[in-house]
C-alpha cells in the first residue's frame, strides 16, 4: 500500500521507471550503460544516484556487481561481509536431529560487551534469528580477529544467579534431575538440550555450578553463514569517498545511497545486563564466585568478563581453590576493581554447595 502510494507520487512528479535495465558501468564517453531485453542502451546523465544494495540474497537482484565497477574508478570499497547473519555451530548429531527448527524463546545473550534479550532458532547446522542477528557484527568480528567466538546465553534472564541457585538448591524429593530443572528453573526441551550440549555439567555438578551454566552458557560458534544468506551486508563504499551530500568526490554527479554504503548503523537493540549490579558491570569489575564438589575434587570458578559470566571448571582439592586458583584469577584481573562474592565463598566454606 505504502509502496504503491510512493510510486504514484513519483509518477505524478514526472519520474519514469525503466524495468529490466541492468546497469553495466560507464562507457568511454561517460554515459551510463544498461543491459535491457532489447539490447544494450547508453544514457548520458547530469547526475546519477546509485542505490544498488549490498551482496546478500543476490537472487533478489542485489548481487554486488557494482563493486568492481566503482573500484575500477578508484572508489574505495570495503569488502562486503555478512551482517545480521546466522552462525554455524558444531552440534552433535543427536542434538541437530532432535532440535533443528526449534525456537529458543525468552532468553538473553551477550557478546562483546552487549547484552540482548530475545529469541532465536536452532538450525541443522547452527543458529539464526533476531537475537543472533543483533549480536552478529560483534561475533563475526571476533571470529575474524581471534578465530573463534561464543554466544553466551542466559537461559533464565528473569532471575539473578543467586536467586536461581537458591531455587535449584531446594530439595528435589522424588523428582528426577530433569524434572527438578524444569520445575525450579523452567529449563526443558531445547534449553535442556543446549545445557547438555555445552554446559559441561553432569550429575555431580553442584547447584551453583548448574545455576552459573544456565546463566552463562557459552555456545561456541564456528563461522558466520555466507554473505548470500545474510539479512544485510557490512562494508561497501567508504564514507570518506563521499561529500556531505553523498556525492562521490572523485566522480562529480554520481551519488550513492542505502546499503551499498559502509558504516551502516548497528542495530540499537542492545542494552546493559539489567540484573548485574553497577559495580560488577563488565570492564569495571570482575566478580568471582566459586562452587564445586569436594567429593569429585572439582571446582567451578565463575568469572565475569567483558563477554558476561564464564564458568571455568578446574579439577582441584577444596583447599587448592583458596590457595592457588583464586589468587590466579585475582592476579588476572590486575588493575581492576575486584568484588569477590563473599556470600558464595562463605557458602563454599560451609559446604552448602555440595551436591
Ligand X SMILES: Cc1cc2nc3c(=O)[nH]c(=O)nc-3n(C[C@H](O)[C@H](O)[C@H](O)COP(=O)(O)OP(=O)(O)OC[C@H]3O[C@@H](n4cnc5c(N)ncnc54)[C@H](O)[C@@H]3O)c2cc1C
Give SS3 for 42.
Answer: strand
Q: Is the CB of 22 or the CB of 163 nearer to ligand X?
A: 22
Looking at 128, 154, 197, 259, which residue binds ligand X (CB under 6 A)?
Answer: 259
Q: Is residue 61 at the binding interface for ligand X, with CB under 6 A as the rule?
A: yes
- Piece in contact with ligand X (CB under 6 A), picked from 56-64, 148-156, 162-170, 197-205: 56-64
* Number of Cα atoms under 13 Å in the Cβ half of residue 169: 18
Looking at 125, 258, 340, 355, which residue binds ligand X (CB under 6 A)?
Answer: 258
* Residue 106 phi, psi (nearest 5): 50, 45
Q: Is the CB of 24 or the CB of 326 nearer to ligand X?
A: 24
- Piece in contact with ligand X (CB under 6 A), picked from 12-20, 49-57, 265-273, 334-342: 49-57
Question: What is the separation, in whole angstroms, between the first and last Cα of the chain?
Answer: 61
Q: Which helix (H) or strand (E) holds 203?
A: none
Q: Is 274 exposed, middle or buried (0-12, 13-18, 19+ CB in 10 A)?
A: exposed
Looking at 62, 121, 298, 307, which residue binds ligand X (CB under 6 A)?
Answer: 62
Question: How many other C-beta atoms can be found within 10 angstroms of the C-beta atom of residue 90?
Answer: 12
Q: Residue 146 is placed in which grid cell?
A: 581471534
The CA distance from 334 to 338, in Å, is 9
Q: Is the CB of 48 or the CB of 160 nearer to ligand X?
A: 48
182, 142 Cβ separation under 8 angstroms: no
Q: Is residue 142 at the binding interface for ligand X, with CB under 6 A as the rule?
A: no
Q: Is residue 267 at the binding interface for ligand X, with CB under 6 A as the rule?
A: no
Contact string 309-338 vs ligand X (x = CB under 6 A): ------------------------------
Looking at 26, 41, 58, 65, which residue binds ligand X (CB under 6 A)?
Answer: 65
Residues in touch with ligand X (CB under 6 A): 22-23, 51-53, 56-57, 61-62, 65-66, 231-232, 258-259
Amino acid at each position: 500500500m505504502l509502496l504503491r502510494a510512493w510510486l504514484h507520487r513519483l509518477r505524478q512528479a514526472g519520474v519514469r521507471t525503466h524495468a529490466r535495465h541492468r546497469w553495466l558501468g560507464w562507457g568511454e564517453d561517460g554515459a551510463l550503460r544498461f543491459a535491457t531485453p532489447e539490447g544494450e542502451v547508453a544514457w548520458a546523465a547530469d547526475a546519477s544516484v546509485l542505490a544498488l544494495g549490498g551482496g546478500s540474497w543476490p537472487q533478489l537482484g542485489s548481487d554486488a556487481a557494482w563493486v568492481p565497477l566503482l573500484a575500477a574508478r578508484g572508489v574505495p570499497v570495503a569488502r562486503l561481509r555478512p551482517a545480521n547473519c546466522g552462525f554455524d555451530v558444531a552440534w552433535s548429531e543427536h542434538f541437530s536431529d532432535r532440535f533443528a527448527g526449534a525456537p529458543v524463546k525468552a532468553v538473553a545473550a551477550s557478546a562483546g560487551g552487549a547484552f540482548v534479550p530475545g529469541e532465536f532458532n536452532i538450525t541443522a547446522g547452527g543458529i539464526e534469528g533476531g537475537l543472533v542477528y543483533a549480536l552478529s557484527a560483534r561475533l563475526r568480528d571476533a571470529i575474524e580477529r581471534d578465530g573463534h567466538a561464543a554466544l553466551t546465553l542466559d537461559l533464565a534472564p528473569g532471575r539473578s544467579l543467586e536467586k536461581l541457585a537458591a531455587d535449584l538448591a531446594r530439595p528435589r524429593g522424588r523428582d528426577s534431575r530433569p524434572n527438578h530443572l524444569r520445575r525450579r528453573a523452567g529449563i526443558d526441551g531445547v534449553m535442556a538440550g543446549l545445557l547438555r550440549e555445552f554446559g559441561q555439567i553432569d550429575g555431580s555438578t553442584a547447584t551453583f555450578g548448574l545455576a552459573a551454566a544456565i546463566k552463562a552458557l557459552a555456545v561456541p560458534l564456528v563461522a558466520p553463514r555466507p554473505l548470500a544468506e545474510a539479512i544485510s551486508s557490512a562494508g561497501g563504499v567508504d564514507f570518506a569517498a563521499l561529500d556531505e551530500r553523498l556525492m562521490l568526490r572523485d566522480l562529480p554527479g554520481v551519488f550513492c545511497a542505502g546499503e551499498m554504503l559502509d558504516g551502516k548503523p548497528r542495530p540499537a537493540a542492545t542494552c546493559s545486563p539489567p540484573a548485574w549490579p553497577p559495580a560488577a558491570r563488565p570492564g569495571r569489575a570482575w566478580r568471582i564466585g566459586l562452587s564445586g564438589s569436594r567429593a569429585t575434587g572439582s571446582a567451578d570458578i565463575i568469572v565475569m568478563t567483558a563477554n558476561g559470566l564464564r564458568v571455568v571448571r578446574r579439577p582441584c582439592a577444596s583447599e587448592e581453590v583458596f590457595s592457588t586458583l583464586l589468587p590466579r584469577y585475582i592476579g588476572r584481573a590486575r588493575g581492576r576493581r575486584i568484588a569477590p562474592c563473599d556470600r558464595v565463598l562463605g557458602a563454599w566454606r560451609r559446604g552448602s554447595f555440595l551436591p
